[in-house]
Amino acid sequence: MIPQVSQFPTGQGDVFGWILQIAWLVLILATFIYGQRIQLTLMLREVESSLFRLKFMRDEGRKTSISTLKELGGSEADPTSRVDRFLEYVAIPPVNLDPSGVIWRLEHILDVRDVRFEDEVSLMVPGVEKAQRNNMENMLEAALALNIIYKVIRHFYVLGKKTKSLYIVMQLQMLLPLIMREAEAFADALQAFKLGQPIGDGAGALVAAKLIHGHKTRKIAKDTVMAKVSMEGRTAYVLKAEGPGGNVGKPGEAIKQIIEKTKGKIATAIIVDAAQKLEGEKPGEVAEGVGVAIGGPQVEKYKVEETVLKYKVPVNVVLIKEDIGDAVSSLRKEVFDAAEPVIERIKRLILERTKKGDSIIIAGVGNTIGIGQ
């Protein structure tokens, strides 16, 4: 084909044939010399398009936060400057070069961060009840996450453009579909946090709430409540984050305290949590296993692992599958419906793994926004 094409116009001797011949040569040369540059330009355009969407989501997050805080704060001072400051907030993790005690240092930093966030929201909307304040805090955290995602992607986009490095842009372009999914999940979460709707992450808390309902609860750790429930002839210490405001509490600390107070006389601990499903799995599918299923910065998970090891307490988990989008957006029906089968599984686990008169722990892990007790 190529020899025919290259010979063809010269044989005709017409001007247009020459133009096409030159155009072909230019195209081939340009592909050789600028092939990578052309690829880079196309990739940058794709990244740019996603960056526009991220910017839109970031701006929506900011706008939603400001308007909601204004609405709740009534005629109080304009929260715009405070929100803008909040969206740039950073928490620097502790040094891990010497890993000894890093968990406790990390916990301290996270506690300081939580207190700082609570204070910031209290200053933005003074006088608002605790549940509402927690929801606003969650909403601002979602807006903060969107701002960070946008800024990081913009950083690598500009860096790739400046250095004309195909490899920086290529990595960015390849990761973008996953990053966009996460960002879209946070964008959807804004509405749920704004209105105080239960979210997918609260699946564990929902199960615990159903077990606790009608029983007297008491606070056992920061933002965490516990109730003694009689189940199948056993005493179950059921715990969850204190609802209905948005928070995850300190389930690890709570489990540690119960085990230590009972001097390790716990037949089994059952942790119920939402888990990220694999593509192809259905949302709301239930899975069982062993180990400590507590997400987040691992501080709570570490506390449980240390305590159960010390007292040799077996730990079982019941997981409710959902994807990242469902975890932070309004609770979907399939996940809600999974609560009853999970309770049945817990009962079966208790009957199979413990004896009558034993004490057990059931921990519903997750954000309890929109879920009471």
Partner 1 sequence: MSEKRPPTRRFSTIMFIIILVALGLSIAAFYQAIFAFANQEFATGSYFALIGIMGLTFLTYLLIQTRRKTLKLPIHAQRVATTILCQKCGFKNIRDFQRGDYILREAGECPKCNEKMIINSVYREAKEEKKGTQKLS
Site for partner 1, rule CB under 8 A: 4-5, 8, 12, 16, 19-20, 23, 42, 45, 48-49, 52-53, 55-60, 62-63, 84, 87, 180, 183-184, 187-188, 190-191, 195-198, 206, 209, 213, 243-244, 279-283, 326, 329-336, 370-373
User: Tokens standing for 37?
Assistant: 């540059």
Compute the least distance from the CB of residue 370 to partner 1, in Å: 5
Query: Minimal distance in Å, beta carbon 281 to partner 1?
Result: 8
Q: Cα torsion for 118, 124, 128, 130, to the nearest 10°?
A: -10
If you ran DSSP here, which 8-state letter would residue 282 be given? Answer: P
Residue with Cβ nearer partner 1 (125 or 266): 125
Q: How far is the CB of 10 from partner 1 (least distance, A)?
A: 13
Shortest Å distance, C-beta 95 to partner 1: 32
Taking the complex as a whole, the smallest distance from the CB of residue 5 to partner 1 amounts, in Å, to 7
Q: What is the DSSP string of 205-240?
A: HHHHHHHHTTS-EEEEETTEEEEEEEETTEEEEEEE
Distance CA 118, CA 61 (A): 19
Query: Can you say how many angstroms the Cα of residue 155 is from the centroid of all Cα atoms in its chain?
Result: 22
Question: Which lies closer to partner 1 via its Cβ, residue 17 or residue 297?
Answer: 17
Element (H, E) at 255: helix 251-261
Q: What is the closest distance, in whole angstroms, from the C-beta atom of residue 289 to partner 1 in the complex?
A: 21
* Residue written as token pair 């037949």: 267
By C-beta, is 45 or 164 nearer to partner 1? Answer: 45
Which residue's CB is nearer to partner 1, number 296 or number 372?
A: 372
Nearer to partner 1, 265 or 282 (CB): 282
Burial bucket for residue 245 (CB in 10 Å: 0-12, 13-18, 19+):
buried
Whether the bond between 283 and the residue before it is cis, its omega within 30 degrees of 0, is no
Q: Which is nearer to partner 1, 45 or 261 (CB)?
A: 45
CB 179 within 8 A of CB 324: no
